[in-house]
Structure 1
Amino acid sequence: MSLVERDLKVIWHPYTQMKTALPPVPIVRGEGACLYDENGKCYVDAVSSWWVNIHGHAHPYIAQKVAEQLNKLEHVIFAGFTHPAAVELAERILQILPSNQQKAFYSDNGSTAVEVAIKMCLQYWHNQGINRTKILAFKNAYHGDTFGAMAVSGRSAFTAAFDNLLFEVEFIDTPDASNIEGLKSQISNLKSDLTCFIFEPLVQGASGMLMYEAKYLEELMAHCREKGVLLIADEVFTGFGRTGKPFACNHVSVQPDIMCFSKGLTGGTMALGLTTCTQQIFNAFLSDDRLKTLFHGHSYTANPVACSAGLASLDLFLDPSTQENIDRIAESHNKFASKIKDHPKIRTTRQTGTILAMEWETGSDTSYFSSLRDRLYQYFLEAGIILRPLGNIIYILPPYCITNEQLNYIYSKIESALDEL
């Protein structure tokens, strides 16, 4: 029995309608920006395997550090215990974040990092005896698939089966020149009820790589700060260089109160979540009253192997060559976007740093369920490229090690698809 046949017998894949989906591609190894199937065919991973891989697959330095850690300590309960990798990773991450970030709380993934942030904010007010329970978020947001993360995400087909079980959230449009004053007025009217404002800074990833300007985000953040509304920056997707700077919040001068990380945190090696916060947030939980404790944790919190992968990834990320690669990719994307922006089948292009999105003209509204998606996906797979369209939106989000030749190959195949499909 082949690997695919064995898979189909026992596996339920994510975001997949198992009755109609194509068989999965059997990947057996990776190297750099490429993944190889069991027949040796190379696929250029143009989406960083769901945006997690920033340094390339099976990176030898990360593998070395993980192996060293496995031979010392694989795991230890993190309630009442600690270990060197967790402490060092927290110390080093906090050094490169906005200066107000002072404490690190580990979890398992992006959704749980967001859950922790939401609970921190809600309990921050509760511990002070203040009744502020409403959360502000952007329309079209995506913050994860657990219930709290779903609740602060935009209502969609993804949440429809659970909508009546999700807590109430105040949703607003992303800011621009035409609506910023109205959004600020809305926040002013709600200020006594709002516990926090959670946002994906600059780019709403899962909603189609929707982008908005830093100057309007900064203005909105400043207004929330003035009104006493806590700020949660969800950098699960945008962190670690994706927007051209180390973190998307480096594009604004207002510092968030809480930040969420995962995906690129370990270079795509293994699951790890991180939520950082200010000393002010942390202090609200310091008490002789044990009921003011943050009651949250996971069995694998601060797993030493994952933290070691994070440390190795951070070493690579802080090497000057990585920023050079980020700049190279951003410049290359910009040139390609300029080349195709007037093509009759391109409705719009948008770019922030290493993220390039192209919206295909279909004659109807943008939709995650566009029939074009499957045709595009299969077309690129046959060409040896992993591009996972968000409906009629194609995006390129490669590992930073991708070569110019590989980028040009991806661009050329997109141009071919524009002519052929």
Structure 2
Amino acid sequence: MPHLYRHLQVHQIFGANTNVGKTIVSTALCRSSARDGRANRPSVFYLKPVSTGPPDEADDSHILRFAGPQRSTISSWCLFKYNEPVSPHLAAKSAGIENASPNSFDQHFVQSVSRHIAGIAKSLPLERRHSMFFCFPTSTGVHSPIPSGTTQAEAYRPLRLPTILVGDSNLGGISSTLSAYESLLLRGYDVETLLIFEENYYRNWEYLSEWFAKRNRESTVGAKTHVGVLPKPPERKVDPAEDHDVTEQYYDRLCQPESPMQEVVTHLAKAHRRRIETLESIPNRTLQHVWWPFVQHATVEGPQDVTVIDSAHGDIFDAALSPPTPTLESPAPASGTASILQPLFDGSASWWTQAVGHANTSLTLAASYASGRYGHVIFPLASHEPALQLAERLITKGPGKDWAARAFFSDNGSTGMEVALKMAIRSTKLRYQSSSPTSAKKELGVLGLKGSYHGDTIGAMDACEGGVYNAAVEWYKGRGFWFDVPTVGFKGGGVVVSGEWRLSGASLSPDGRGWSEDFASIQDVYDVESRLSSKLANSYRAHIQDTLEHLVEEGHLFGALVIEPLIMGAGGMLFVDPLFHRVLIDTVRSSTRLFSKDSGSSSLHLEEGCWKGLPVVYDEVFTGLYRAGCQSATSILKTNPDISVLAKILTGGLLPLSVTLASKSVYDSFLSPNKVDALLHGHSYTANPIGCAVANEALGMLETMDQNGTWQRNQDLWKEGSIEVSSSVWSIWSPIFVKDLSRLGVVENSMALGTVLAICLRDQSGGYSSNLAQRTLSQLTSSMSAENGNSAFGVHFRTLGNVAYFITSLNTSGETISTLQSRILNALDSSPS
């Protein structure tokens, strides 16, 4: 839906208020821009998306009436017309149009405008560089509603067109103009020009000229705003003929070559060229100065490998492509009429952070309010409302409900895990210190699962088995033991739990390399409590207990059990059998004597509510807060952690923030008369008020979606007859689609939970170094032409070796999901087996 062309300028006109002269400005812009147009061929295009009132008073009629000598070069349209001279949302109701689904109408509305722009661009010749202009004025003020009731500033945001703001020269106009400007700025619009009529009583133009000149000097946020002061229009005459003549003379003076309006047209043309030049310069500048994470720069071939993201909205990146630049010597290909910017679906949810879409206005306003109220303030021995509200929310009704007592703030998931490890290991050491001074001096490791990933700080890396993320770091020292991982997924259309190691009591897998067990439905797998007495549970229990006893006999000491519940993300999007997680936790907690073996006592006296065996840490940085379809894994595992870490979705994907939740017994471990026994960890931006305010807003939005049935249809599709299962799981992705994927010859298995879809491709030399998934699905990046003439989005995605994964927001539309599913299936179906 983005629009940026080499041969066509597209501008949107907003008014700071009603009756500020948008129609006059639009007419003058069209006349001034058309001066260089080719005779008898339209070079200026005017669109009024919505018009209310009598047709003969509509803006598009006025434009053509006063087009002057340039009439043959100006075309004018209106897409939605209502005869009632009231606000569009009221006019639509008067016309008998009810919007049962405002979101659906908004999408139709903006797509109609978008198709119109794209159609004009496609029809224009490329042999010359025309100074073409597309006037796109809006009704009344920036927050006046469109027919659905959505405000204009919101409705037009997916287009994010360069903006002309017509200022208010009337009483109170300074305030209304600056308020309109800031409203547009908050939504990411570039206000390239402010036009205001000269009025010598209020002299708003004088103040605003100085205000914008100062802001242009001092700020780098948004576009530099050119201010054009226009002569005041003539008073309307009673006699229609006289009024026409006076108005025509005014337009003629206003559009002279040296007039302020011509300066505006020149400025807009320069801004248009500068925007394109800046976008085209970004790839080379990036390659010269930026060091990307998780990228081998030696394999980057050139600027074509850089995805330039001009802006983002909802699930979509507006990304600049790199086609050959057309020249007079080298005629442009047919695609030269296409927009330089193309829509790309954010297929990784921007590294798993997005929850409600990019540039969400509610989150933006929450951040702006907290920024204006606090900025940042120090936190130790201090408090502020956003942090306290967030802590109380997470503990009393969020993932910490019924078990957590304290919330510790940090800046990202990896740091949050560092804090969790310090909490857990210190708690274990203090508990066993009193009975065994010898063991207290030994290093405590962690228990976890193979393929774990807890972040890239040194301590978090050491809490994982050596692999591609950590083993290459010279400081890495794996501190612990990691169990093999049993996984769940669809294979050949059926649900299978399997492991790639020999498990006593379990059935051999068809390939003989491990074991597997078939299930009737995915709900049966995630009904953990009903499986606790199963044969597989007993096999897990015996395997874990035997392994732990052997490790302790060898002299290993452990300080924590650390797991990524439900899905192990960076390890390859592994959907771990939840029964294994539950049995592992239960076995560790029932092994108090085993972990305190050096004390010589048969047991330790523990107060009610204290952790037993080892403190259990849930790393829910990725899966928490509905990413996997539930607020926390506790609702599926039916057991609480002692420590839990939340990040990513915590702020809806807008800002970095992490919270480590801890039980009372863990917190009490740090209480002492000595300051050095405190949890000496923190950073300067601890409990940043802006991040906390955004988190509160994001959590409120997620809770509303959970309660108002946003996901009900998806949940019903995944029930598969198991309606009574209290731990039912679901996904935004269709279960039929996920099963169909698993039947493809190139697919080893597929699985989905919540917003996460993972597809493991068959690859003899699979693993992180494989590029099979990226190569197989490469066609997804290209935009496809939809049947209705719209330009469908391409897909920006990342892979983990031979595993392709796709993650949506929690409010991604069903239509978008259907499009994604079709494209993924087609790409894999056309791939050689």
TM-score range, shorter chain: over 0.9
The answer to whether the 8 Å contact 2:464/2:478 transfers is: no
Deviation digits for residues 343-374 of structure 1 (CA, Å, limit 9, x no counterpart)? 11111112223322111123x14211113244
> Quick one: structure 1 residues 56 and 323, their matched pair in 2 at CA, closer, same or farther if it must change by over 3 Å?
farther
1:112 counterpart SS class: helix
- Which piece of structure 1 moves more, 367-376 or 147-156? 367-376
User: Normalized against structure 2, the TM-score is what?
Assistant: 0.49
**How much does 1:322 deviate?**
7.3
Partner of 1:185: 546
Is 1:260 aligned to 2:670, yes or no? no
2-side partners of 1:280 and 1:393: how far apart?
40
Give the 5 Å matches for 1:9-408.
Answer: 9-21=288-300, 23-38=305-320, 39-95=340-396, 96-97=398-399, 98-128=401-431, 130=433, 131=440, 133-162=444-473, 165-174=476-485, 177=536, 178-190=539-551, 193-227=557-591, 228-320=613-705, 324-326=709-711, 328=714, 330=731, 332-362=733-763, 364-376=764-776, 378-383=778-783, 384-408=794-818
Partner of 2:37: none
**How much does 1:112 deviate?**
0.4
Higher Rg: 2
The answer to whether the 8 Å contact 1:55/1:399 transfers is: yes
AA of the residue aligned to 2:587: H
- Which piece of structure 1 moves more, 347-356 or 308-317? 347-356
Percent identity between the two aligned chains = 29
2:766 counterpart SS class: coil
2-side partners of 1:323 and 1:174: how far apart?
36
**How much does 1:241 deviate?**
0.6
2-side partners of 1:381 and 1:49: how far apart?
15
2:560 counterpart SS class: strand
Partner of 2:723: none
> Quick one: structure 1 residues 321 and 239, their matched pair in 2 at CA, closer, same or farther if it must change by over 3 Å?
closer
The answer to whether the 8 Å contact 2:540/2:583 transfers is: no
AA of the residue aligned to 2:823: K
> Quick one: structure 1 residues 322 and 335, their matched pair in 2 at CA, closer, same or farther if it must change by over 3 Å?
farther
Work out the number of aligned pairs and report it. 420
> Quick one: structure 1 residues 235 and 323, their matched pair in 2 at CA, closer, same or farther if it must change by over 3 Å?
farther
Deviation digits for residues 164-195 of structure 1 (CA, Å, limit 9, x no counterpart)? 63242111123573544211232345568221
Which 4+ stretches in 1 moved above 6 angstroms? none
Deviation digits for residues 280-302 of structure 1 (CA, Å, limit 9, x no counterpart)? 00011111122211110011111
- Which piece of structure 1 moves more, 325-334 or 192-201? 325-334
1-side partners of 2:371 and 2:481: how far apart?
45
2-side partners of 1:125 and 1:220: how far apart?
18
2-side partners of 1:332 and 1:168: how far apart?
38
- Which piece of structure 1 moves more, 246-255 or 125-134? 125-134
User: Normalized against structure 1, the TM-score is what?
Assistant: 0.94
RMSD: 2.0
> Quick one: structure 1 residues 174 and 326, their matched pair in 2 at CA, closer, same or farther if it must change by over 3 Å?
farther
Deviation digits for residues 139-165 of structure 1 (CA, Å, limit 9, x no counterpart)? 111111111111112311222222663
Unaligned residue ranges in structure 1 (runs of 5+): none
The answer to whether the 8 Å contact 1:326/1:353 transfers is: no
2:690 counterpart SS class: helix
The answer to whether the 8 Å contact 1:142/1:153 transfers is: yes
The answer to whether the 8 Å contact 2:777/2:824 transfers is: no
**How much does 1:208 deviate?**
1.3
- Which piece of structure 1 moves more, 179-188 or 67-76? 179-188
Q: Which has the higher contact order (CA 8 A, sep 6+)?
A: 1
**How much does 1:75 deviate?**
0.7
**How much does 1:304 deviate?**
0.7
2-side partners of 1:94 and 1:411: how far apart?
37
Partner of 2:324: none
1-side partners of 2:734 and 2:766: how far apart?
22
Partner of 2:828: 418
2-side partners of 1:15 and 1:331: how far apart?
28
